[in-house]
Structure 1
Amino acid sequence: MAIARIRRPFLLAVTFGLALLIIPASPGIARVATENAANDSSNTLKQLGLSLMLLLFGTLLQMAATNIMLAWINSRTFQRWSKTRSVRSTIAMMLSLFVLFVTAVLQVLLWALLYDLGGALDSFSEALYFSLVTFTSLGYGDVTVGVDWRLVAGCQALSGLLLVGCSTALLVVVLQRIWLARHQNYPN
């Protein structure tokens, strides 16, 4: 029974993935759709695949940053620094922020490379700006991508939203560890 519970979601995911690949290429749909629409749907599927790969890579990058942060807050150096009411606890917090900031910048750069190499925008600087605005969910609207790239931009906004949530949770853990270490040393 437990094996059936595991297989069902896996089989549904595989079936849905195969349907996304097979249906646009089937002869019946190809006759009904125009050639432009068929090209648009295959282009959309390619971009969705690229977006999902970048989401996966971004998640792995965030997991690596999370592991670095957890190793850091469990280290003796962090414990020693956070027990003192000095500049060291501020440095510990700044190092934590730096790791999370670098993680965010790397993800923004990866998405900008996708936009630039895919030809969605005219220059890398424009792609970097659009990527940063989309990743942070600001969405100014002064630089936009074409209809073909809207799904990719939505996936990037989702990725940014998830990164900000995970980063906030990690910073709360760091602050909590510093606060607990300080109050264990200095009771009221």
Structure 2
Amino acid sequence: MTPPEESLGPLLAAPDRLWTAAEVLAKPSPVPIAPGVYGWHFDVAPFASLPAQQLLYVGIAPRKMTSRRSRQNLRTRVRYHYRGNAEGSTLRRTLGCLLGLELRRVGSGKRMTFGKLGEQQLTAWMAEHAFVCWTPHPEPWLLESQLINQLDLPLNLDQNKHNAFHAQLTEIRSTARRLARELPILT
């Protein structure tokens, strides 16, 4: 059953349960293969001026349903955030930049990640400090703006210029990208 849209903010901000990386990545995974919204909480703040022990980021899966069937769902997206890389995860890129990991160009030079070691460090940090909750919803793309306006989400950049941390986070990520462009490409 899909919760009413007005109850999604509280469901994500104060969930009955938060899930760890080990639980999410286990087989079988508790994360449903369904569209929906998810929220990230951290027991340690990824940056000094941010609070700990509260919701800092929300995401949706899929981004938007097109005429083609999307392969993205809650399970693929949440699991990717825990074990993917910064090129495919805005959350990972933001966390790595806030934690002071060095963003680097990789492969052809068009993609940016934290390199093998940096991505491993970020994965380990998230396994220890990042917790996630979710709720299925048939059209999550219709909820994203509402959630970003309703909740204090300092790690969300898109549609979130009103957040007090937006300018600082934008600058931190921009500086990381600029520095990455000045460094040699990692092979």
Identify whether the pair has TM-score above 0.5, normalized to the shorter chain: no
Q: Rg: which structure is higher?
A: 1
Structure with the higher helix share, 1 or 2: 1
Range class of TM-score, shorter chain: under 0.3
TM-score (norm 2): 0.27
TM-score (norm 1): 0.26
Q: Which has the higher contact order (CA 8 A, sep 6+)?
A: 2
